[in-house]
Each structure stands twice: as C-alpha cells, then as structure tokens.
Amino acid sequence: MTQPTFADGPPVPLMVEGLIDPPTLTRLFADIQTAGTVLGVREKGGPAEYAGGDVMPPAVALERLLAGTARAVQVRYHFDGHEWTDTVLAAANGFRVVRCRHG
C-alpha cells in the first residue's frame, strides 16, 4: 500500500471508509486492542459538542456507541509500524468508519 502524494507537497495520509454493523464494530474494537497498541480514545457527544479532552477506555467507548449515548468516537492506535486513527460515527443503518494511516 503506497501513500498518496502531490508533486508540490508532503504525502497525504491514506484514508478509507466504510459502513459496518454492530457485531462488526465489536470485532473491530477487539482487533484493535488485540493486534495494536491503543494510544487514545476520545468521544464526541451531541451535535453541538466538540470531542471531549478526556481519554476513555476502548471498552467504554464501544459500549457508549452501541447504546447510542455517543455520537462518534475517535480511536488512535499503533499497528504494523504505523499510527492509525479510526473515527467511528453512529449512522441510521450502522456505523460509519473512517480510517486514516499517518506516516
């Protein structure tokens, strides 16, 4: 997998996105914790709220997403020699995941 670049600037982070169901979200969180090293987890509350400054355990973030009490969660982790950020947003028909690989 190569990182996109522009001739006149630095490399652009690799990004992918998809829509997943609750069981897949649960497996995603388990995989990140098993195969990677979690660096931080932040929650976004309501539509007019910014992401909280407090870091929470991944299990709490998953529980809040599945219960519908969190609108979105951002998980930073290290895996396979890279830092990654997965942003998970609650959607009407599942969860939208935007994954970004840094450096």
From 74, 77, 75, 73, select the one nearest 38 (Cα to Cα). 77
- Please give the Cα distance from 30 to 70 (Å, whole number): 18
Q: What pLDDT, on a 0 to 100 scale, did the predictor assign at position 16?
A: 86
Question: How much is the pTM?
Answer: 0.82
- Summarised one tens digit per residue, pLDDT across range 20-38 is 999 999 999 999 999 999 9
| Residue 81 scores a pLDDT above 80 | yes
* 48-70 confidence digits (pLDDT tens): 666 666 679 999 999 999 999 99
Q: Domain map of the chain by residue range?
A: 14-102
Kind and range of the H or E element at 72? strand 72-79
